[in-house]
Structure 1
Amino acid sequence: MAAVRRGQRSGAQGTLSRDQELELIEAIRGNHPDGYGLDDELWSRHTVAALIQRRFQLDLDLRDVGAYLGAWGLGPREPRERACSLCADSVTRWMEHAYPAILRSAQEHHADVYWLGRTRLHGVVPPADVLSAVSARGRTRFMIATPSVNPPLPRDFLLRLSGAAGRTVHAIVDSSWPTARWPRRLPPRIVLHPLPSCGRDA
Structure 2
Amino acid sequence: MQGHFPEELEIDSALWTRRAVQDLIEQQCGVEMPIRTVGLYLWRWGYSPQKPLKRAYEQDPEAVEEWLEHTYPSIEHRAKTEGAEIALGDESGLRSDAQAGRGYAPIGETPEIHLSQKQRVRVNFIASVSNQGNIRFMLYTSKFTQAVFLTFLERLIAKRERKLFWIVDQHPVHRGGQVQQWLAAHKQEIELFLLPSYSPELNPTEYLNGDVKQGVHSKPPSRNLAQMKQRIISHLSKLQKLPARIVKYFEHPFIAYASNKMQAQLVPG
- Normalising by structure 2, we get a TM-score of 0.38
Structure exhibiting the larger radius of gyration computed from Cα positions: 2
- Normalising by structure 1, we get a TM-score of 0.50
